[in-house]
Amino acid sequence: MLKFDDYSEFKSEYVACCARLKKELGDNIEKLNGIDLQRRLDHGSLLEIFSGYELLDTADKKYLLKFIPPAKVNFVTGELSLELSSALSKILVLK
């Protein structure tokens, strides 16, 4: 037979465990939401990343373009190759 003192002890232990589990669940949900946000940002298309470029004024466009150095320039044909690896890493860094 369960005595009242034993019941009270079990109940307080249950309440403490539930509070700890609820806090842990909330922390895990917060971490998962952060991971989901990073996943959505990482898997966006390049079109989405540069969609606001057309809305920028000329000074802002020049500022962004100076981060994209030319890799190869052919002065005969006018072709220009850009080195995007370092440029994209500078633009896409999360702050």
- pLDDT, mean over the chain: 79
The residues near 5 (Cβ < 8 Å, ≥ 6 apart) are none
pLDDT computed for residue 45 by the predictor: 54
Side-chain-side CA neighbours of 41 within 13 Å: the count stands at 11
Report the range out of 17-26, 35-44, 69-78 with the highest average pLDDT: 17-26
pLDDT, average across residues 47-63: 76
At 16, list the tokens. Answer: 């403490």
- Give the separation between CA 29 and CA 8, rounded to whole angstroms: 31
Encoding tokens for residue 29?
């949900």
Who has greater pLDDT, 22 or 61?
A: 22
